A and B are shown apart, each in its own frame.
Chain A
Amino acid sequence: MNVPEDLRYTASHEWLRAEADGTLSVGITDHAQESLGEMVFVELPEPGRSLAAGDGAAVVESVKAASDVYAPVAGEVVAANTALNDDPGKLNKAPYDAWLFRLRPSDPSAAGKLLDAGAYRKSFK
């Protein structure tokens, strides 16, 4: 299972990447895509939407099941990866490139408090 060292994680299997402009990209982990199976649909948040930490932000649906993707930290949605609408399978092929949405966090230090790669690996063993 692939868990890149430079990302942060949640126990509900989202990953976060700190971008150069201060925003955070959010996606689902390799473990999440593996257990859900082949993705066939995504529902993305509208830019401008405000989210509290833990709010349902996106939905990914595999052949098997639908799964909510939660906002790992509070913030405002600044972008959604609409390319995934046409190719949800990217979530399976390249889970750490296939970001779902970008957040401008209310608290810039919030992401640093989430799980690092080592803690995430331990979280489901």
Chain B
Amino acid sequence: MLQTPLIDAHRRAGAKLVEFAGWELPLHYGSQIEEHHAVRRAAGMFDTSHMLALDVEGAGAGSFLARALANNVGRLTRPGKALYSCMLREDGGILDDLLVHFLRADLFRVVVNAATADKDLAWLASLGPEGATLRPRRDLAMIAVQGPQARERTWAALPALRAASEPLGAFFGAQAGAAFVSRTGYTGEDGFELLLPAAQAEDAWERLARAGVRPCGLGARDTLRLEAGMNLYGQDMDEHTTPLECGLGWTVDLESSRDFVGKRALATRLAARVQLGLLLAQGGGVLRAHQRVRLAHGEGEITSGSFSPTLRTSIALARLPVRAAPGDAAEVEVRDKRLPVHIVRPPFVRHGRILV
């Protein structure tokens, strides 16, 4: 199993370590529910060093990414600005979802999922990046500090980051010495994602912990992103799903004249399914991936489901017939029962507030 530069810090903090995408990572440090609440109410941090930062550098970097990504990097004109995008196959299936930062006209930084990193690299190389080189940055560790107090506690722990990161608006990043700080995340809360030289990661982690940032594991990361209505690659989407079928139509640029891999397929392939949220109406169990959803006009399937610590009931993302709409009645098959659910439009929670 691969280990991040923070493995010793996790062990010292009593993490329950599990295998995730080939990496040994914390599931929790005692209570994933308490970790979840820490992020919604104050500040928590995640070791996301398993994700891969990939620098795309050269005069052709922008035009290459404009061809490779479904969202339009041409919209990125201010240095540091980030864009969420899918990378598609020719048939419109999703190879990965990623964040791309515009650093300079000739330098973009892409952050991709751990499980797909090797596949993504091979795919990008196969597209023929003319005038651009792909440089995987395995020398960088990544820490996501998230929550309403995340920024203040980051500055308390790492004062050198303050000057560069205080002016950052949402979805912007900036270089701060050896670190790259971006105001992004995967929890629905404010905060930063820090890319640091691996050798500095452990010290930064310990300083953040001393400043009151609670270490959080994959368990809390999953319930937080689910409440925030954010997809998990490999679960809510994969190569057999198009962005239009998993709630990511807003990330696909079909309007501009730009041609990109998968565009033709998306323009002709009708979405057979639509992604919506489910909220368990009266209890009776926990919604889980692959449970069947029954509606008046067809059936669907849960792609992610869990107990929501903020709502104190179960929530899910589900792929439903295209006619399904928020407010419709539906039932989910849980063991031998059919539990009534409300169909809602995600997110369920943003910035500490319940929205459904």
Q: In the bound complex, do residue A63 and residue B306 qualify as a contact, i.e. CB atoms below 8 Å apart?
A: yes
**Quick check: A63 and B307 within 8 Å, CB to CB?**
yes
Give Cα distance in the complex from A113 to B283, angstroms: 38
Residues in B lying within 8 Å of A, measured CB to CB: 27-28, 31-33, 219, 223, 283-286, 288, 306-307, 309, 314, 335
Contact B31 A41 (CB under 8 A): no
A43-B219 in contact given A37-B32, A38-B32, A63-B307 (Cβ < 8 Å)? no
Given contacts A63-B33, A64-B219, contact A37 B307 (CB under 8 A): no
**Chain A's nearest CB lies how many Å from the CB of B292?**
15
A116 neighbours in B (Cβ, 8 Å): none
Q: Is A11 an interface residue (CB 8 A)?
A: no
Which B residues lie within 8 Å of A41 (CB)?
283, 285-286, 307, 314
The contact of B335 among A37, A38, A59, A63, by CB within 8 Å, is A59
Whether A40 contacts B286 by the Cβ 8 Å rule is yes
Chain A residues whose C-beta falls within 8 Å of the C-beta of B285 in the assembled complex: 41, 43, 59, 61, 66
Contact B288 A63, beta carbon cutoff 8 Å: no
- Among A37, A40, A59, the residue within 8 A (CB) of B28 is A37
A residues 60-95 with Cβ under 8 Å of B?
61, 63-66
A67 to B258, CA, bound (A): 50
By a CB distance below 8 angstroms, the chain A residues around B335 are 59, 66
Bound Cα distance from A63 to B307, whole angstroms: 6
Q: How far is the CB of B129 from chain A (nearest CB, A)?
A: 40
Query: Nearest 6 pairs between A and B by C-beta?
Result: A40-B307, A61-B286, A63-B307, A38-B33, A41-B286, A63-B32
> A43: which B residues are within 8 A, CB to CB?
284-285
* Interface contact tally, CB-CB below 8 A: 34
Contacts of A40 in B (CB 8 A): 286, 307
Nearest CB in chain A: distance from B144 CB, A: 20
- A66 and B337 alpha carbons, distance in the complex (Å): 14
Q: What residues of A have a CB within 8 angstroms of the CB of B284 in the complex?
A: 43
CA–CA, A38 and B220, complex, Å: 12
In angstroms, Cα B340 to Cα A8, docked, is 39
A-B contacts, 21 of them at CB < 8 A, read A37-B32, A38-B32, A38-B33, A40-B286, A41-B285, A41-B307, A41-B314, A43-B284, A43-B285, A59-B285, A61-B307, A63-B32, A63-B33, A63-B219, A63-B223, A63-B306, A63-B309, A64-B219, A66-B285, A66-B288, A66-B335
Taking a contact as CB atoms closer than 8 A, the residue among B31, B283, B314 that contacts A38 in the complex is B31
Nearest CB in chain A: distance from B243 CB, A:
29
Interface centre among B28, B288, B306, B307 (most CB of A within 10 A): B307
In the bound assembly, the distance between CA atoms of A40 and B219 in angstroms comes to 14
CB neighbours (8 Å) of B309 from chain A are: 63
| Alpha-carbon distance between A37 and B285 when the two chains are bound, in angstroms | 16
CA A63 to CA B32, docked complex, whole Å: 9
A95 to B28, CA, bound (A): 20
Closest Cβ–Cβ distance, residue A34 to chain B (whole Å): 9
Chain B proximity of A74: nearest CB distance (Å): 21
CB nearest neighbor in A for B222? A63
Known: A37-B32, A61-B285, A63-B306; 16 extra A-B contacts, CB below 8 A, are: A37-B219, A38-B31, A38-B32, A40-B286, A40-B307, A41-B283, A41-B314, A43-B284, A43-B285, A59-B285, A63-B33, A63-B219, A63-B307, A64-B219, A66-B285, A66-B288
- Shortest Cβ gap from B40 to chain A (Å): 15
Q: Give the chain B neighbours of A38 by CB distance below 8 A.
A: 31-33
A43 and chain B: residue at smallest CB distance? B285
| Residues of chain B lying within 8 A (CB to CB) of residue A64 | 219
